[in-house]
Amino acid sequence: MTYEASTVDEYLEQVPPERREAMSSLLEVVRANMPEGFEECLSYGMPSFAVPHSIYPAGYHCKPDEPVPFLSIGNQKNYIGFYHMALYTQPDLLEWFRESWAGLDIGKLDMGKSCVRLKKLDRIPYELLGELCTKIPVDEWIRVYESRIKPS
If you average pLDDT over residues 75-101, what whole number do you get? 95
Confidence at residue 150, expressed as pLDDT on a 0 to 100 scale = 66
81-89: average pLDDT:
94
pLDDT tens digits, one per residue of 30-46: 999 999 999 999 998 99
Q: What is the pLDDT of residue 114?
A: 81
Whether the predicted pLDDT of 50 surpasses 80? yes
pLDDT grade, residue 151 (50/70/90)? low
Whole-angstrom distance, CA of residue 117 vs CA of residue 120: 9
- Quote the pTM value: 0.93
111 pLDDT above the threshold of 70: yes
pLDDT for position 3: 82
Task: Classify the phi-psi angles of 37: left when phi > 0, otherwise alpha if psi is within -120 to 50, otherwise beta.
Answer: left
In the chain, % of residues over pLDDT 90: 88
pLDDT band at 15 (very low <50, low <70, confident <90, very high): very high
Instruction: Round to whole Å and give the CA distance between 93 and 101.
Output: 12
User: Which residue, among 75, 23, 78, has the nearest Cα to 45 in the 3D structure?
Assistant: 75
Question: Domain 8-147 is in which class?
Answer: alpha beta
